[in-house]
A and B are shown apart, each in its own frame.
Chain A
Amino acid sequence: MSELSAAIRTRGLRKSYNDKPAVQGLDLEVNRGEFFGFLGPNGAGKTTTIHILTGVITASAGEVEVLGMSVPDEIHEVKQQIGVVPDENVLFDRLTGYEFLEFAGRMYGLDRDVAAERARELMGMFELDMRQDTLIAGYSKGMKKRVALGAALIHRPKLYLLDEPFEGVDPVGARLMKTVLLQQVEQGATVFLTSHVLEVVERLCKRVAIIEGGRIVAEGEVSDLRTAEETLEDIFLRVVGGEVETAPLAWL
């Protein structure tokens, strides 16, 4: 593994479900220490790409390197150095937030006491310490997202793969999460973020790629893509064809 290698590199990545392509020849390169935005409409292939990068699913074809290591060949080593926040709630809802964080820490190989201490501190940092003994089943969506980010942070990974991390989070929580992530990037970590909130992406990310139909349709530095006339949202709508006029329904 080279320290100079890209955080993420894919070449000709493909994934099909029952002969239906989800990702079609994806070439992607994310530099280390970068806050990278991965945008696309629903069903474009964002989550599938994250699942391939994390080893949850196997690509049908193509090459994947994460932190200089080959996926899936070195997936075990990769997993130890990445933190993931999924799009859906995938927390074990019969554990308390604290128990889940401690569990996640130990799964990443932290010593039990260290995991417990970090779990306590993360609960405090994400303002969840008042709900320390509440089962995750009783958390709001935003609280679950904070716990999920806590679980991604607990082992101080080099790369964060975040799938819609701010969805359902209130502005206070979102600000807190953004601050933490920006600090991580300042300290050399890489963030790979998908979000539909383009303002957030515009503010946080240095570089973005827009995926549509499993292919990259635009890529570059946010400052280069954006012009005086076009915001990131305008560009997004233009490249994914979202400006199509729809005929109004007579009954609606």
Chain B
Amino acid sequence: MIQFSQVRTLLALQRRSIVNGFRDRRQRYGLLVSLITGGLWYGLWITVAITCAVVPSYIGTEEIEYSLPGFLLFALGYWQLSPLVTLSLGASLEMRKLALYPVSVPTLFFVECLLRLWTAVEMILVLCGLFTGIAVAGSSSSLLLAAGLTAFIAFNTFLSAGVRNLVERVFQKRRLRETILIAMVTLTVLPQALAFSATARGWARNALRNQLEVPYWVTPAGLSSRLALNQALASDIVLLLAMIVVAGVFGYGMFRASCRLSSASTAGEQAPKSANAGRVRWISRLARLAPDPLGALIEKEIHYLWRSPRFRLPFFMGFTFGVIAWAPIVLSVEGPLGEWLQSGATSFISLYAMLLLGPVLFLNRFGFDRGAARFYFWMPLSFQQLLAAKNVATAFYCYAEAFAVIAIARIIGLPVGWMEALETLAAVSVALLYLLSVGNHMSVRFPVASNPDRVSRAGAGHGVRAAAQFFLFPLSLFPVLSPFASRYAGPALGDAFWVLLALAAAGGLALYSLTFGAASRYGLQEREFLLGNLSGGEGPVAAE
């Protein structure tokens, strides 16, 4: 049974943890930035919601009846897929801490559902706006609209709870995790992948067309729409309820399994002897190029990241999901834009992959070290050496990602020659300079302990880091993208590609040189703050 008193206690505890976190002056500054970025983000969605509320009054009931199922289908897709694509699965319960207390699984599942609702709050805002608009337009009764909306939200909440916990669980199982994840994301984009050949493209088009003719009762979007618009038969309502129950059972089952797995944690996890030994030799040889302690640090960083599911997920997604999701877009566009997209495809995908890796490889580089970061400060090494080692390991994985993107792109038939490969590596090199410049500063100024086993990113947590991640980080790629943009502008400017890239590289190098020294000085000077933040615990909800 759900113990609502415990739910209230958990929520109050989380609120207290957040409030206590803002005692520090720097955290209060973060709160201000959080409020501004949050205001911008939710302001955008509230604007969309208001637009959705206004539109029904200007279109007829017939148009509403025609377009609502499609709109809800889009909402369903966004709700379920956007967390996967952006690898931002939202806040989650700290099961290892909560397992100590007599809290029932249904109670925890209730809180989990509240968290899933909070994660999708922008979509809920839009849906509320739309359904309010339909009610105002008089296309259906308020009661039925509320029922349809509630059913749709319930289905999505349960399904997202299930998907989230499934992804978490898969990534805590050795060996299976990467394979299953790749299979999952590949299946997600299979219809697009099929569009590669002319035959398959035709087949996919037909499938897409036929999909529009799929009976409404196949999806909860269609059924919720009919319920809301007073078109549902009794059998439709039964079917919709059945779907919600199935989603609930799936969500609850996955959540319960996650609870069991959390208590097992990573205890006793073995480094696979043979594979590890091979990797050790290979990486060790590479790291020998740098003298100790730099070499030892680089080696440690490379091993450490590789053993963290939290790193491996975006790393694998970059060259699997990234390529497969982008390829149909690149191939389906024709004319000059298509040629431009194709010539820069591997570069764009590699840069997208770097953004996916941002929270792990750039923005919070000490997060996985947690309390162990203290170790660095009683070792005879400088902060510059430490930061340099972390930067080298970051570069190592970004180049590895780029090579993997090039290889996969070639395998699936994207036009990638030597020149495109060279451009990709050059673009990655220049992007590294800018992203590391931002990342080094963020890592020392806004560090937060991060769980290497938790595969999801629960938003960006700290407001300044969130702002950097969603605004500054993508914007810092502008100098890298401008040479590609110049190529699209025309052949004359296109010839200047390498010149513009070289200019971007020079700018990046200057920026990196300046910021590296400043970040190192700050890290050393403010080491107590750094260590304090990395050793700090969280409330019952993890929002790293």
Q: Is this pair of chains taken from one and the same complex?
A: yes
A residues sitting closer than 8 Å to B (CB atoms) are: 54-58, 76-77, 79-80, 82, 84, 86, 88-96, 99, 103-104, 106-109, 112, 133-135, 137-138
Contact of B303 among A90, A99, A109 (CB under 8 A): A99
Residues of B within 8 Å of A79, CB to CB, are 378-380
Contact B269 A91 (CB under 8 A): no
Contact of A56 among B266, B276, B368, B527 (CB under 8 A): B527
Contact A95 B303 (CB under 8 A): yes
Residues of B within 8 Å of A55, CB to CB, are 377-378
Q: Is B496 an interface residue (CB 8 A)?
A: no
26 residue pairs of the A-B complex, CB under 8 angstroms, read: A56-B374, A56-B378, A57-B527, A57-B528, A58-B528, A79-B380, A80-B380, A91-B375, A92-B300, A92-B372, A94-B304, A94-B368, A95-B303, A95-B304, A99-B271, A99-B300, A106-B293, A112-B292, A133-B273, A133-B276, A134-B268, A134-B271, A135-B271, A138-B266, A138-B267, A138-B270
Closest residue of chain B to A91, judged by CB? Answer: B372
Q: Is B515 an interface residue (CB 8 A)?
A: no
Contact B378 A82 (CB under 8 A): yes
Alpha-carbon separation in the docked complex, A99 to B279 (Å): 13
Residues of B within 8 Å of A76, CB to CB, are 380, 382
Alpha-carbon separation in the docked complex, A106 to B287 (Å): 12
Closest residue of chain B to A152, judged by CB? Answer: B378
Closest residue of chain B to A135, judged by CB? Answer: B269
User: Which positions 394-447 of chain B face chain A at CB distance < 8 Å?
Assistant: none
Shortest beta-carbon distance, B361 to chain A, in Å? 15
Looking at B276, B288, B295, B371, which has the most chain A CB atoms within 10 Å of its CB?
A: B371
Contact B304 A92 (CB under 8 A): yes
Residues of A within 8 Å of B308, CB to CB, are 94
Contact A137 B266 (CB under 8 A): yes
Q: Is B531 an interface residue (CB 8 A)?
A: yes
Alpha-carbon separation in the docked complex, A175 to B444 (Å): 41
Shortest beta-carbon distance, B444 to chain A, in Å? 16
Alpha-carbon separation in the docked complex, A181 to B369 (Å): 28
Shortest beta-carbon distance, A136 to chain B, in Å? 9
Contact of A103 among B300, B369, B377 (CB under 8 A): B300
Residues of B within 8 Å of A56, CB to CB, are 374, 377-378, 527-528, 531
Shortest beta-carbon distance, B511 to chain A, in Å? 29
Residues of B within 8 Å of A112, CB to CB, are 288, 292
Alpha-carbon separation in the docked complex, A93 to B531 (Å): 17
Known: A55-B378, A137-B269, A138-B267. Contact between A95 and B371, CB under 8 A?
Answer: no
Residues of B within 8 Å of A108, CB to CB, are 379-380
Contact of B378 among A84, A92, A93 (CB under 8 A): A84
Contact B292 A109 (CB under 8 A): yes
User: Which positions 504-544 of chain B face chain A at CB distance < 8 Å?
Assistant: 527-528, 531, 535
Residues of A within 8 Å of B307, CB to CB, are 94, 135
Shortest beta-carbon distance, B370 to chain A, in Å? 9
7 closest A-B pairs by beta carbon, nearest first, are A106-B296, A138-B268, A79-B380, A54-B378, A94-B307, A80-B380, A106-B292
Contact B375 A92 (CB under 8 A): yes
Contact B380 A133 (CB under 8 A): no
Contact B296 A107 (CB under 8 A): yes
Q: Is B381 an interface residue (CB 8 A)?
A: yes
User: Which positions 452-466 of chain B face chain A at CB distance < 8 Å?
Assistant: 452
Shortest beta-carbon distance, A242 to chain B, in Å? 28
Looking at B265, B267, B299, B375, which has the most chain A CB atoms within 10 Å of its CB?
A: B375
Residues of A within 8 Å of B380, CB to CB, are 76-77, 79-80, 107-109
Contact B452 A94 (CB under 8 A): yes
Alpha-carbon separation in the docked complex, A80 to B378 (Å): 9
Closest residue of chain B to A57, judged by CB? Answer: B528
User: Which positions 346-384 of chain B face chain A at CB distance < 8 Å?
Assistant: 368-369, 371-375, 377-382
Contact of A135 among B266, B273, B300 (CB under 8 A): B266
Closest residue of chain B to A79, judged by CB? Answer: B380
Contact B296 A135 (CB under 8 A): no
Shortest beta-carbon distance, B298 to chain A, in Å? 11
Alpha-carbon separation in the docked complex, A135 to B266 (Å): 9
Residues of B within 8 Å of A88, CB to CB, are 371, 535
Alpha-carbon separation in the docked complex, A138 to B271 (Å): 11
Known: A107-B293, A108-B380, A109-B292. Contact between A90 and B374, CB under 8 A?
Answer: yes
Alpha-carbon separation in the docked complex, A82 to B380 (Å): 10
Alpha-carbon separation in the docked complex, A76 to B379 (Å): 8
Contact B527 A106 (CB under 8 A): no
Known: A55-B378, A92-B300. Contact between A107 and B267, CB under 8 A?
Answer: no
Residues of A within 8 Å of B372, CB to CB, are 89-93
